[in-house]
């Protein structure tokens, strides 16, 4: 059994979606970021960086294994099950590159955009313009990649899970995707996957951030995500 320590943020959703996709049983342990439970000693022992998600794999010989950082967890689960990460060198390299693209670019930039648009104590026009512009550029990079591929790295993989978990928050970040037909098609494909639908309801369901008029969802995401927007 996998213990999943998580909350209602894109990084948490990556792992719940992955676990749903690969069919491993898992036990959800909510880490309430609004109540700062990530700073408690018991969670810090699992992740010294005090951010969700983290997992504990209790099914290994020699005792449990703890893993933190969402990208590392995705790779671990893919390799553990032989799913959603190609083994052929070229296709594996492509999936890994797009995973790192999310970790180094999509997540940090969309997170900072959302912060300066929604939760910063003061509106700083330069910061909003800077991060909104870079968010649009990065989403455009994905749109171009999806022009010749059904999924980000060709076949469906952990790269899609990682990127979609963040891109679906584009409205909260104040970013539009009008005219990005390849991205829109991919997002619709992802939203239709049962594992994605289930994964974004862990540890509990909040209103869909990708829908118009869901201000409550944005508020819940903001409360839960302030401490890990750039991760």
Average pLDDT over every residue of 159-188 = 96
Decide: 182 and 143 in contact? Cβ < 8 Å: yes
**pTM of the predicted protein model:** 0.91
Identify the pLDDT of residue 207. Answer: 78
**CATH code: domain of residue 120:** 1.20.1050.10
Instruction: Determine which helix (DSSP H) or strand (DSSP E) holds 96, and give its type and residue range.
Output: helix 89-101
Average pLDDT, integer, range 96-117: 97
Helix axes 125-145, 107-114, angle to 10 degrees: 140
pLDDT surpassing 70 at residue 227: no
Assigned domain for 179 exists:
yes
Q: What residues make up the domain containing 16?
A: 2-81
Whether 96 and 113 map to the same domain: the answer is yes
Residues 166 and 106 in one domain: yes
Confidence of residue 209 (pLDDT cuts 50, 70, 90): low
Same domain for 14 and 94?
no
Q: How many separate domains does the chain show? A: 2
Question: Residue 231's pLDDT band (boundaries 50, 70, 90)?
Answer: very low
CB atoms within 10 A of CB 134: 17
Assess if residue 120 is contained within a domain: yes
Q: Which residue among 81, 100, 127 closes a domain? A: 81
pLDDT at 166 over 90: yes
Give the span between the Cα atoms of 68 and 70, in whole angstroms.
6
For residue 218, what pLDDT is reported? Answer: 52
- Percent of the chain predicted with pLDDT > 90: 87
Does 138 share its domain with 73?
no
Of 61, 81, 101, which residue is a domain's last?
81
Residue 121 lies in a domain: yes
Taking only the tens place, the pLDDT of each residue in 43-80 is 999 999 999 999 999 999 999 999 999 999 999 999 99
Residue 38 lies in a domain: yes
Are residue 41 and residue 125 in the same domain, yes or no?
Answer: no
- Residue whose tokens read 């010749």: 148
**pLDDT surpasses 80 at 224:** no
Q: Choose the final residue of a domain: 21, 47, 81.
A: 81
* 101 & 194 share domain: yes
Distance between the two ends of the chain, CA-based, in angstroms? 26
Does residue 207 lie in a domain region? no
Q: Judge contact between 13 and 167, C-beta under 8 A.
A: no
Q: Are residues 112 and 138 in the same domain?
A: yes
**Average pLDDT over all residues of the chain:** 92
Contact indicator for 79, 95 with CB cutoff of 8 Å: no
């Amino acid at each position: 059994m996998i213990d999943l320590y998580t909350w209602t943020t894109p990084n948490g959703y990556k792992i719940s979606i992955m676990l749903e996709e690969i069919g491993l049983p898992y036990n959800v342990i909510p880490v309430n970021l609004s109540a700062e439970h990530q700073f408690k000693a018991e969670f810090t022992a699992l992740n010294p960086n005090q951010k969700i998600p983290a997992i504990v794999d209790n099914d290994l010989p020699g005792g449990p294994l703890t893993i933190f950082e969402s990208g590392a967890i995705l790779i671990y689960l893919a390799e553990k099950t032989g799913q959603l990460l190609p083994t052929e060198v070229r296709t594996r390299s492509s999936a890994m590159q797009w995973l790192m693209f999310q970790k180094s670019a999509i997540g940090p930039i969309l997170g900072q955009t959302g912060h300066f648009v929604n939760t910063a104590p003061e509106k700083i026009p330069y910061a909003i313009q800077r991060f909104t512009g870079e968010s649009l550029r990065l989403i455009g990079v994905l749109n171009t990649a999806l022009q010749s591929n059904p999924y980000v790295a060709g076949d469906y993989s952990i790269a899609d899970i990682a990127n979609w978990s963040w891109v679906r928050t584009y409205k909260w970040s104040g970013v539009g995707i009008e005219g990005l037909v390849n991205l829109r098609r991919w997002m619709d494909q992802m939203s239709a996957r049962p594992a994605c639908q289930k994964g974004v309801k862990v540890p509990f369901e909040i209103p869909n951030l990708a829908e118009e008029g869901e201000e409550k969802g944005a508020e819940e995401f903001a409360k839960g995500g302030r401490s890990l927007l750039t991760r």
